[in-house]
Structure 1
Amino acid sequence: MNRLLMPSAALLWGLQIAFLSPSLALILTSLYGASMVEVGWVLAIYNASGFVASLVLPAWADRHLDYLRPMLGAGVLTALLVLLLATVTTLPLVTIALVVLGGPAGVGTSMMFAHLRHSGARASQVMNMRAVVSAAWVAGPPVATLIIGWYGPRAILVAIGAVALLNIATTMAMMSLRRRESLAADGAAAPVVHEDSVALGTTGIVLVTTAFVLLQATNATSMSFLAVYVPQTLGIDVLWAGIALGLAAGLEIPALMLIGRLTERFSSLGLIVTGCLAGIVYYAGVAVATGPVLLLVLQPLNAWCFAGIGGVGLTLFQQMISRPGLSTGLYMNTRRIGAILSGPLIALGGATLLGLRATFLACALLTVIGMVIILVAARRGTAVIRGSQEASVGPAQA
């Protein structure tokens, strides 16, 4: 049963986000008459609430060593949020609902990955679940678009609510299984010892976090900016942007599964460096592309870059920081901060003589900087390990 529960949970949590995130702006404009300025402010406040929740709730979960109850709470809050969005009629009330309910509800996925780590899952197993979430993201937005197109914006609220109820059910099943396992072990769960921990020290963790903010910014920029870049700079139909993004999304799943297997043989930091190298070539290639052929040829590099940042990055944070909730929450917040930084990166395209190509060149440069920081952190980690080994040698041994 457990073998089915975790993939089911990963798929459902991925679908919940994939239904809500792309549809929220449309829901605000069509159901509540929000202007684009109002949409921007509401989404900013909503994301700020999610940022705070992803710090507070994981801290509680780490103190209590319980990641399933926050998951259950996130499912319940999502169901309540959908109910309120379907009944309230004014934008201020919708904003309050998104802040009070939507922000905390967004921690469900990170709590799932924290639970995986706390349960003793290896990096490759976490990566497999990350691939399932990616599969949900491949299917989620097109399905959400079809639902809205056929039945209207309110119909997507029904779909999100249904997924939330399924999330509640799967989480309750996982809690029941956890209780049975605890009773079988006479109520004393053995502490999980992670043999794949990465010792970087506090400075190394700060360096890696900084690098990931930059890497997440470039990833968010390329994803959101391509639909504008393709028709305005390459001079081809925007359909090619959709084809390119769809191809990259389809390749992400095998890339995540492959790189997950490689984590058993190679270091996480080394694999992330390969993702950075792929990203540098991808961004530079898109910046000099003149047609659809090169754009499509480059997408495997885009997929590998995402696998390194979005997959191995998650497991690296769990390896660096022993508290599963804090580590996963910190990683998720690098995505949020990176998404904020993507705004200035996109604006750069309209402020230079190079035009929109400057944005992708800036992404390549920031990826180089992020890779260099990762390499510095790796060297520092080697020094930390060497220092701890030397400190453990007694005078007689020395």
Structure 2
Amino acid sequence: MWGLQSALLSPALALLLVSLYDLSAAGVGGVLAVYNASGFVASLVVPALADRRRDYLGPMLVAGLLTLLLALLLALSSSLGVAVVALVVLGGPAGVGVSLLYAHLRHSGASRVDIVDTRAIFSFAWVAGPPLASLVISGFGARALLLVIAAVSVLNVATTAAMMSRRARAARRGDDPPAPLDEGRAMRRSAVALVVSAFVVLQATNSAAVSVMTLFVTRRLDLDVVWAGVALSVAAALEIPALLLIGRLGTRFSDIALIASGCVAGAAYYSLMAAVHGPWLLVSGQALNAWFVAAVAGVGLSLFQRVIPRPGVASGLYANTRRLGAIGSGPVLALGSATSLGYSFVFVACAALTALALLVLGSAAALD
């Protein structure tokens, strides 16, 4: 449900701003910038406070309530000013709910396999969320989607409250809380800085590749736009079994080794896309992309929680590598349109950046 809440709101937010407030493209970009800035700060502050209290369910409950209030305000208000304030004050902290969920799992003793399996469920929600959002908007309008998001947030509040009630009953019985699993030790700060830098680069390549896919398919390959949707859908579908498999492999191989395999697959995928000329190789190559995303999304989160001793900070910091990566993808996309290779250059650059990130991860492992 937390994944569905995110998958309904995030892809449709730009469309909601245009439909409800008649914003221009520049206006949408400005609003999304301040909204994402609020989310960036909240992802650092709220999980850190939760770490101090060693309680992640309480802030999760608040995040669900803030989402409910945000959805209702956007649905009922016609004022752009109210919408912007709501997105910054309510939306930023509300978006921390998913990070808190992963932190709660880790704090409660969840293993690496549990974390990666949960991430696979989150991916499944993202496969279902955007089409559902499109169906609701096309059939009932933009405000109807906000009501659906509000309903999902109510379910998130209810499930979180149920977990809090279960914890309270266990405390009254005198049951000992589950001990967090000790699956590793904290890295040096210099090594952690290298890991974070490498993941920002890896997230940037993924963001750039997804963003350019439609233009690459239509203008570089001269194919119908439907092939871009097919390629992205195949990648998303394959990501789920890839996450489940890589989670099991985590019992036999280290996080760094699995992420390294993902980097190799990612570099191979980007190199293949730079040379592809037809639809079938475009689609079949998504298997490499799925393994790359599974390593970065699933094992990456597990790695952050292992090398950073505070679960909340670890999950929040990992979430922010995605935000920073999305920002960093901008120059890569801009360079692609300015070179003779055109959109193929984006994939060439992504292959080189993925190889660089692999070297940085190796350096972090050496420092540790």
Bin of the TM-score, shorter chain as denominator length: over 0.9
2:187 matches 1:225 = no
In the other structure, the counterpart of 1:30 is 19
Deviation at 1:198, TM superposition (A): 4.1
In the other structure, the counterpart of 2:29 is 40
2:245 matches 1:250 = no
Aligned counterparts, 1:169-208, within 5 A = 169-185=158-174, 189=177, 192-208=179-195
2:153 matches 1:164 = yes
Aligned-partner residue type, residue 54 of structure 1: S
CA distance in 2, matches of 1:83, 1:140: 19
In the other structure, the counterpart of 1:296 is 283
2:133 matches 1:138 = no
CA distance in 2, matches of 1:329, 1:199: 16
2:232 matches 1:240 = no
Secondary structure of residue in 2 paired with 1:350: helix
Q: TM-score, normalised by structure 2?
A: 0.98
Q: Deviations over 1:270-304 (max 9, x none)?
A: 00000000000001100111111111110010000
Q: How many residues align?
A: 368
CA distance in 1, matches of 2:197, 2:313: 16
CA distance in 1, matches of 2:271, 2:81: 43
Aligned-partner residue type, residue 235 of structure 1: D
Deviation at 1:322, TM superposition (A): 1.1
In the other structure, the counterpart of 2:303 is 316
CA distance in 2, matches of 1:132, 1:219: 20
Secondary structure of residue in 1 paired with 2:159: helix
Aligned-partner residue type, residue 177 of structure 2: A
- Does structure 2 retain, via aligned residues, the 8 Å contact 1:198–1:316? no
Deviation at 1:223, TM superposition (A): 1.4
Aligned-partner residue type, residue 62 of structure 1: D
CA distance in 2, matches of 1:343, 1:161: 32
CA distance in 1, matches of 2:78, 2:129: 27
CA distance in 1, matches of 2:185, 2:286: 31
- Does structure 2 retain, via aligned residues, the 8 Å contact 1:79–1:161? yes
Q: Deviations over 1:167-199 (max 9, x none)?
A: 00000001011112222335x536x24331244
In the other structure, the counterpart of 1:61 is 50
Q: Deviations over 1:98-136 (max 9, x none)?
A: 000000000000000000000010000011100000000
CA-atom RMSD, angstroms?
1.0
- Does structure 2 retain, via aligned residues, the 8 Å contact 1:211–1:373? yes
CA distance in 1, matches of 2:275, 2:292: 19
Aligned-partner residue type, residue 40 of structure 1: G
* Structure 2 counterpart of 1:286, from 273, 282, 294: 273
Aligned-partner residue type, residue 216 of structure 1: Q
In the other structure, the counterpart of 2:107 is 118
- Does structure 2 retain, via aligned residues, the 8 Å contact 1:271–1:308? yes
2:261 matches 1:261 = no
Aligned-partner residue type, residue 89 of structure 1: S
Secondary structure of residue in 1 paired with 2:339: coil
Aligned-partner residue type, residue 79 of structure 2: T
Aligned-partner residue type, residue 210 of structure 2: M
Q: Which one is further off, 83-92 or 203-212?
A: 83-92
Q: Which one is further off, 199-208 or 132-141?
A: 199-208
**Where do 5+ consecutive residues of structure 1 fail to align?**
1-11, 382-398
Aligned-partner residue type, residue 278 of structure 1: A
Aligned-partner residue type, residue 164 of structure 1: S
Deviation at 1:204, TM superposition (A): 0.8
Displaced runs of 4 or more, over 6 A? none
Deviation at 1:227, TM superposition (A): 1.2
Aligned-partner residue type, residue 83 of structure 1: L
Secondary structure of residue in 2 paired with 1:335: helix
CA distance in 2, matches of 1:316, 1:205: 10
In the other structure, the counterpart of 2:352 is 365
**Where do 5+ consecutive residues of structure 2 fail to align?**
none
Aligned-partner residue type, residue 99 of structure 2: S
* Structure 2 counterpart of 1:153, from 105, 117, 142: 142
